[in-house]
């Protein structure tokens, strides 16, 4: 089954404790992206990657890091989480064409205390 998986689905942590949210896709997609969803703000892009070792900032990259060492994986790293990073996070992937359908993962609910 074609899918984007994220782990963990739920995470409660404390300020300053480094964490990684994993994302993996099995569709051989070149493009992968991270979004956060906040009430009243919709979906905002954090980082995206056009292919292995190619990453770029989205609209709200501050406080986040990403890496793309393998085509299927695109982890999101919070080196020093803060309460304003409490949010619902989605990973997504699609083919190279911008009109290709973008598939989203199920989401990761992160709470930073």
Contacts with other proteins, residue ranges (CB under 8 A): 4, 31, 33, 35, 40-45, 48, 50, 56, 58, 90, 92, 97-99, 101-107
In the complex, minimum distance from the CB of residue 79 to other proteins, in angstroms, rounded to a whole number: 24
Return the closest-CA partner of residue 55 out of 43, 70, 66, 71: 66
Three-class secondary structure of residue 84 per DSSP: helix
In the complex, minimum distance from the CB of residue 64 to other proteins, in angstroms, rounded to a whole number: 16
Chain-centroid distance of CA 79 in Å reads: 14
Q: Which is nearer to other proteins, 83 or 106 (CB)?
A: 106
In the complex, minimum distance from the CB of residue 16 to other proteins, in angstroms, rounded to a whole number: 28
Interatomic CA distance for residues 71 and 66, integer angstroms: 13
Q: Which is nearer to other proteins, 62 or 99 (CB)?
A: 99
Interatomic CA distance for residues 75 and 6, integer angstroms: 9
């Amino acid at each position: 089954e074609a899918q984007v998986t994220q782990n963990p689905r739920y995470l409660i942590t404390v300020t300053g404790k480094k964490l990684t949210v994993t994302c993996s896709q099995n569709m051989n997609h070149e493009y992968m992206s991270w979004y956060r969803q906040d009430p009243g703000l919709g979906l905002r892009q954090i980082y995206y990657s056009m292919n292995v070792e190619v990453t770029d900032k989205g609209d709200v990259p501050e406080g986040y890091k990403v890496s793309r060492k393998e085509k299927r994986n695109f982890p999101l790293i919070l080196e020093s989480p803060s309460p304003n990073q409490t949010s619902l996070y989605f990973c997504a992937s699609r083919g190279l064409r911008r009109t290709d359908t973008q598939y989203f993962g199920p989401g990761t609910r992160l709470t930073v205390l």
